[in-house]
Chains A and B, each alone.
Chain A
Amino acid sequence: MTPLAPVSRAARLLLGIGFFVVFVAAWAAITYGGMVPPLFLASPGATLVAGWSLFTEFNFIGDIAITVFRVVCGFLIAAAIAVPVGLAMGAFKSVEAFLEPFVSFARYLPASAFIPLLILWAGVDEAQKLAVIFIGSVFQIIIMVAVIAAATRRDLVEAASTLGARSWGVVFRVIIPSAAPQVAETLRLVLGWAWTYVIVAELIGAQSGIGHMIMDSQRLLDTGQMIFGIVMIGLIGLVTDVLVKALNRRLFPWAVI
């Protein structure tokens, strides 16, 4: 193995799948081998059976749909506010001076700690779930977008101004397009975090969703269903990630190396 030497596409794919195989094999070995009781950890087979019954008997598709809806909505609302604010902070030092201290403070507030308050304010319906995701995402996006925008290459800004661009021209035709690919990458990252917030929100005071299903399964001591729910979240995350990456490559062909 040579340091930093690239590997072929086929090898990369094979290695990536390889670890999943190793992981499932280890899981199978300790469960079928009787090293842990099935009550603590269901076997891969039992998990699949539990998953099948979730889909056929318990309308799991409905849970998945409502959870995806919550993640996407909460995240989009957060992004719609955070991206412009972050860009403004990155582009204008006075805006940065005004907002940066507060945002830096606010982004350390754990979204889950707001759940009791949010239940008080917004009840246990959708608004509360979206609010948790919103609080968890919005400050992170603001800070990261601000850093990206502030790192705009100075020579490009100077080139634009010698070509006749004024303040708004520099913002809209240099800072924003130059930040766009990294902002898209940031959104992809934060979307992953949004999934952890939605599940936390659904563990407390929810009547639907993947998180609620996991809580229900715990009451019934059905570890198969619980594990299937967790694995499902991972799979949805993986698929979204691949899709968003492909979208970013299409949107920003100039940035692809």
Chain B
Amino acid sequence: MSDKTLHIQGVTRSFGDMLALQPVDLTVAPGEFVAVLGPSGCGKSTLLRIVAGLDRPTAGTVALDATPVTGPGPERGMVFQSYTLFPWLTVEQNIRFGLREAGRPEAEQREIAARFIARTGLTGFENHWPKQLSGGMQQRCALARALANDPEMLLLDEPFGALDHQTRELMQELLLEIWEADRKTVLFVTHDIDEAVFLASRVLVISARPGRIKAEVPVPLPYPRDWTVKTSPEFAALKARLMADIREEVRRSAEA
């Protein structure tokens, strides 16, 4: 369970003359699941990368409780859209990467890795190389690798974006199951409306570039959720509302 609050204050980012992100203010409470929804190229990934410490804001600050974010760190675990398992490490060694970096004893590393291998359904694949895994398994391993560090928050940058539809839905359910059990703060970037509504307790709609928070939509569907919620009228209503928001932004970014 996370217990730190993420504070984003007046964060902007420009690349040369181009403004990518207008001032963003956002507070994410411990244990919240926030989806950042927007058309491609709207700056939502830039925002996530700033929170991760992989990119620096042009202005504004990011802090976890009172500690300002100045660079990447293991307390903010990240899963990328591209497959970023280390190809020279086995599944088990990939999951132990952060623990080893933190200098934890080997027995403890193995014990923690075994736990997350089981939770992400990778049992039997401990000694496989990443190239031997399907895309879905690679992303499960990447999730296990981030979780093994016991981070304060998880930053997910369209982690299922490269997967086929069926695999993607299974991955969403797995992520939801893990979140419902651990209640880690999640910031989840996506352009998929269904995904955002199904997973998140709050959806932020980002406008076309330069990105800003255009709307903030709470998702009152109760947890634990399962796939049947996707056919409920509440789900449909939320989806319709977000679709209207997003369509307008997609059109604007296509015209820009």
Contacts and interface: CB of A to CB of B under 8 A. Distances in A.
Given A158-B72, A162-B72, A164-B149, A252 B88 contact: yes
A250 to B, nearest CB: 14
A163 B101 contact: yes
B52 A173 contact: no
B49 to A, nearest CB: 8
Interface string B40-77: 00000000000011100000000000000001111011
A180 B88 CA distance: 10
Looking at A161, A174, A252, which has the most chain B CB atoms within 10 Å of its CB? A161
Contacts of A238: none
A173 B101 contact: yes
A200 interface: no
Contacts of B84: 155-156, 158-159
B54 A162 contact: yes
B88 A163 contact: no
Contacts, number: 72
A101 interface: no
Interface in B128-164: 129-131, 142, 145-146, 149, 155
A16 interface: no
Given A155-B82, A253-B129, A163 B54 contact: no
A180 B87 CA distance: 12
B129 A161 contact: no
A254 interface: yes
A163 B71 CA distance: 12
A171 to B, nearest CB: 13
B74 A163 contact: yes
Interface residues of B, number: 29
Which secondary structure dominates chain A's binding surface?
Answer: helix
B125 interface: no
Contacts of A252: 88
B98 A255 contact: no
Contacts of B71: 161
A197 B80 CA distance: 47
Contacts of A161: 53-54, 71-72
Interface string A218-257: 0000000000000000000000000000000000111100
Contacts of B54: 158, 161-162
A177 B149 CA distance: 22
Interface of A: 155-156, 158-165, 169, 173-174, 177-178, 180, 252-255
